[in-house]
């Protein structure tokens, strides 16, 4: 390795460590905020539809970024059934640092990309821990946490489980 000081046989390189703990309190805003409240209080999953290109926007947001027109506000949203089919999945085995807590999470989990029946995709954990039981196109459905455990977060959805035939 060529170094700034020329090659040296043994050199102690000092480093300065710093762990930064930066707290945040992000506003959810009127769109995502309402979406989360609906999930928490009524167990419902919503999307909005762009009036110009007609695609579903999940989550609902202030404008359609492609058409650049304002997207509908609550309650002119489309209710989703929470059912769909599995497009693909990934078993995450390597321990991951959770950037929200700074902690390393060890538990392997499977997260899936789901095409909801209404025609929009969504990512979440899958209940099934055994990859071999997963198939492309498998029917899945949303499972919520019990109401008293829901906090107004995306994780108020517990996971998606395979629909039993």
In the complex, which residues of this chain contact other proteins (CB under 8 A)?
A: 1-5, 11, 13, 15-16, 18, 20-32, 36, 57-59, 61-66, 68, 70, 87-88, 90, 92, 96-100, 111, 113, 121-125, 153-155
Quote the tokens at residue 101: 């807590």
- Closest approach of Cβ 144 to other proteins, in Å? 16
Q: Give the DSSP H/E element, type plus range, for residue 161.
A: strand 157-162
Contact 45, 142 (CB under 8 A): yes
Q: Give the DSSP H/E element, type plus range, for residue 109.
A: strand 109-116
Between 30 and 42, name the residue whose CB sits nearer to other proteins: 30
Cα–Cα distance measured from residue 43 to residue 141, given in angstroms and rounded to the nearest whole number: 13
Between 18 and 164, name the residue whose CB sits nearer to other proteins: 18
Q: Are strands 121-125 and 109-116 parallel, antiparallel or unpaired?
A: antiparallel
Between 10 and 165, name the residue whose CB sits nearer to other proteins: 10
- Closest approach of Cβ 79 to other proteins, in Å? 18
- Closest approach of Cβ 139 to other proteins, in Å? 18
Contact 60, 47 (CB under 8 A): yes
Between 32 and 134, name the residue whose CB sits nearer to other proteins: 32
- Closest approach of Cβ 165 to other proteins, in Å? 25
Cα–Cα distance measured from residue 131 to residue 45, given in angstroms and rounded to the nearest whole number: 26
């Amino acid at each position: 390795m060529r170094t700034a000081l020329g090659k040296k046989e043994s050199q102690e390189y000092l480093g300065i460590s710093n762990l930064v703990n930066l707290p945040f309190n992000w506003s959810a805003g009127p769109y995502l905020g309402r979406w989360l409240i609906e999930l928490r209080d009524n167990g419902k999953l919503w999307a909005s539809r762009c009036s110009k290109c007609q695609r579903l926007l999940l989550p609902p947001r202030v404008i359609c970024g492609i058409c650049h027109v304002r997207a509908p506000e609550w309650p002119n949203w489309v209710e989703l059934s929470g059912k769909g089919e599995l497009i693909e999945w990934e078993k995450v085995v390597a321990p991951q640092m959770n950037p929200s807590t700074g902690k390393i999470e060890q538990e392997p989990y499977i997260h899936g990309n789901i095409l909801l029946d209404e025609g929009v995709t969504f990512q979440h954990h899958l209940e099934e821990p055994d990859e071999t039981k997963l198939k492309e196109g498998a029917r899945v459905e949303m499972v919520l946490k019990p109401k008293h455990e829901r906090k107004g977060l995306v994780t108020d959805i517990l996971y998606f489980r395979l629909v039993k035939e």
